[in-house]
Structure 1
């Protein structure tokens, strides 16, 4: 199924819902972005209904004049955002293709794919597998960091830092969300393929699907650079002090001021030594439109424009439950996490989780969330009903934690956006 059949570039389309719902949705989302007390830098959204794109729209700016250079630009259908942890799901799609090729096994000791033995020193007899890494049950922790430069070997970091290992339970028994899992995953993918992670993902997924962007802006075309959003906050880069009345501060991808650069020392980098270099955990830049293409591919059993991208059995494994909170087997991060697949979140229908979003609780979704550098992102897909929502917020002017959601672990702004998309674009309701 081709996404372009019903998606209009630069236009609003609500299939079967009528102009009233479309106009009301536009107005509601615009009001959220332009809230005088809590504005958002930019917003790009997409909704899938009945297995096809039903709504796509953009609001706000992808570039703001923060350097006095007069550089401003709106969010467009082509605008790519650094989508944060939704990258984990995208990375997993690439990894599953390597599993299909027989280069990886989900249940083998990953030490066999690395140039060192990966063990939690508190549980030295327990092997760590890709299934553990993908489901956040590996016992790896982010306490000592999860990203290093090209001159650092992951084996040396993991051997030297005891803070990187949890004690609560052995691998496979305890859930704690950890970005470092994906640094190890990226290293494994490089090791078995012999390819640098950013280029490997282009070969495995982005190029076959015709997706723009990727994990390495230094290799973007000039148009891709122009289309990449800068992420913003009204706070400094290095502190948690917000100033909602102050100026927007660029946090990352400020390409209107300076062109993207490759990681320092990349020319000496040894492939397979440090998969954190291009952030498999959160570093891909993609548009809402291209995330919509991925969403439709998932709904179409792994097929995109007549081509099998990922096998149905791989997708079934990704979205099947690997861990569920039973009250004493993990950290839910204030109620955000209750069920997990392989590189994908399962939004259980409990208060504080996406399963209760929107408010009527009828949207049973899988996918992933993201938050970094001011961006907050959602990729949520109801496989059974063939419905999905993509939301990419390019920056908050005030501390999002100071405006929590009323019925979920989201911020109130996210709740309003997701509920409006569900009510107007999926259900077609107009007041």
Structure 2
């Protein structure tokens, strides 16, 4: 096994070449092992300015924020102010959906485990003021229900914005203030920013996007997403070291470095306990806890979360059995390839673990019932059509909607091949990922009711 010092040397030696290989403008990496932390950075924060990345640079952590929001909710559980299995409306009567019966039944546990069943990629613009999260909740009034609460898993951003509002109501302060008072301060975080106005005080990374599939990444047209979605991951930025301080809290049964009890051991354990199985995509966790993704790496339990904003991607993996946590923060390019190379080396050298391989097309395509899968599946952010050409090849066409339509041209058609009886997979990789598509349910006419790629996207009917 390697030492942490040897890992630090490896990062210093290899990181500059790795970001060049993967066309990543800049990255910052942190490792926690044996109670000690190392961090290293390479590249630039923006190709437009050429400002160099260092270990104190702040990157957006995207949806890793959801674990922070979950921690704030679990603090309320510890204080007896929240019961996870009571309907959200017991605490937030103004919670509305297009399906009022579902809205009345959805529990806080279901929101935390992405099993509430309503469509979750809702990015309504509610302004930049302190009331942005409060204003977001009423925008869900016409949002449809994909399935009954608790029936299955479907990743839900909007549900965590609602949880942010729950925190605001029960704490009597805006989400950002609660985050700072109840987590940043007791953890002693010095470089964590809740919005662009704070991030600009530090060396802040800018996201990069490819204007065309084969083009080099260029700075994104804007830095942050809508503030109303802050509890889901639209704004929060920090250094790797700060994120690892949070990871250590969850390794140390909720106790901060100075001995302060920030979260009860029972809540830490509850967050890491599986609540629902995830469809077999090979990209997300095998199951989901409260906030955390839960992975099975050949019999070893790993928890973590990923985050993606406008051209920034973040990765966090924690191996409780080995007291190990690794984070990789990036600002564009082939981030998956970079993540795989860095994390696979570190977990193997420090814990003897093999990073599971990402899904790839089989050498021989698996026969499929194409007729069951073909059709258009629609959600708030895109229409997705699975079609078959005259040669029998299957293609996926995606038409982005809303704010995602403003980020550039629609993606090129993606050829899909059979992965197993229930799923197809992209023949070519996009930024290092062969994206699987799982087809679930039955619409009553022999067709799949859902295309599931982490989100359950319902078949559109004329």
Following superposition, the deviation at residue 332 of structure 1 comes to 5.2
Determine if the alignment matches structure 1 residue 137 to structure 2 residue 115. yes
Unaligned 5+ segments in structure 2 are: 354-462
1:335–1:57: structure 2 CA closer, same or farther, 3 Å change rule? closer
Determine if the alignment matches structure 1 residue 58 to structure 2 residue 41. yes
1:242–1:426: structure 2 CA closer, same or farther, 3 Å change rule? same
Query: Match of 1:166?
Result: 146
1:301–1:157: structure 2 CA closer, same or farther, 3 Å change rule? same
Determine if the alignment matches structure 1 residue 375 to structure 2 residue 312. yes
1:15–1:96: structure 2 CA closer, same or farther, 3 Å change rule? same
- How well do the aligned residues superpose, as a CA RMSD in angstroms? 3.0
1:171–1:296: structure 2 CA closer, same or farther, 3 Å change rule? same
Determine if the alignment matches structure 1 residue 226 to structure 2 residue 202. yes
1:345-373 CA distance string (max 9 Å, x none): 001x3xxxxx3xxxxx4753102111222
Query: Match of 1:404?
Result: none
318, 322, 337: which one pairs with 1:412?
337
For the residues of structure 2 that align with 1:344 and 1:253, how far apart are their CA atoms?
26
Following superposition, the deviation at residue 388 of structure 1 comes to 1.4
TM-score by length of 1: 0.72
1:28-78 CA distance string (max 9 Å, x none): 33221011xx3101111111223332x3211111233x2xxxx33211121
Whether the aligned pair in 1 keeps the contact of 2:192 and 2:237 (CA below 8 Å) is: yes
Following superposition, the deviation at residue 183 of structure 1 comes to 1.1
For the residues of structure 1 that align with 2:153 and 2:27, how far apart are their CA atoms?
32
Following superposition, the deviation at residue 425 of structure 1 comes to 5.2
Query: Match of 1:41?
Result: 25
Whether the aligned pair in 1 keeps the contact of 2:240 and 2:329 (CA below 8 Å) is: yes
For the residues of structure 2 that align with 1:59 and 1:134, how far apart are their CA atoms?
35
Following superposition, the deviation at residue 378 of structure 1 comes to 1.2
TM-score by length of 2: 0.68
Q: Which has the higher contact order (CA 8 A, sep 6+)?
A: 1
For the residues of structure 2 that align with 1:244 and 1:196, how far apart are their CA atoms?
41
Aligned length: 348
Q: How does 1:227-306 map to 2 (within 5 A)?
A: 227-235=203-211, 241-245=212-216, 248-253=218-223, 276=228, 278-304=230-256, 305-306=258-259
Whether the aligned pair in 2 keeps the contact of 1:85 and 1:368 (CA below 8 Å) is: yes
Query: Match of 1:392?
Result: 329
For the residues of structure 1 that align with 2:103 and 2:23, how far apart are their CA atoms?
52
For the residues of structure 1 that align with 2:163 and 2:313, how far apart are their CA atoms?
23
Whether the aligned pair in 2 keeps the contact of 1:52 and 1:296 (CA below 8 Å) is: no
Q: How does 1:4-403 map to 2 (within 5 A)?
A: 16=3, 19=6, 22-35=8-21, 38-53=22-37, 55-64=38-47, 66=48, 71-118=49-96, 121=99, 124=102, 127-145=105-123, 148-149=126-127, 153-162=135-144, 165-167=145-147, 170-211=148-189, 212-219=191-198, 225-235=201-211, 241-245=212-216, 248-253=218-223, 276=228, 278-304=230-256, 305-325=258-278, 331=279, 335-347=283-295, 349=296, 355=297, 361=298, 364-396=301-333
Following superposition, the deviation at residue 277 of structure 1 comes to 5.1
Structure with more strand by fraction: 2
Following superposition, the deviation at residue 219 of structure 1 comes to 4.5
Following superposition, the deviation at residue 140 of structure 1 comes to 2.0
Following superposition, the deviation at residue 383 of structure 1 comes to 0.9
For the residues of structure 1 that align with 2:60 and 2:283, how far apart are their CA atoms?
25
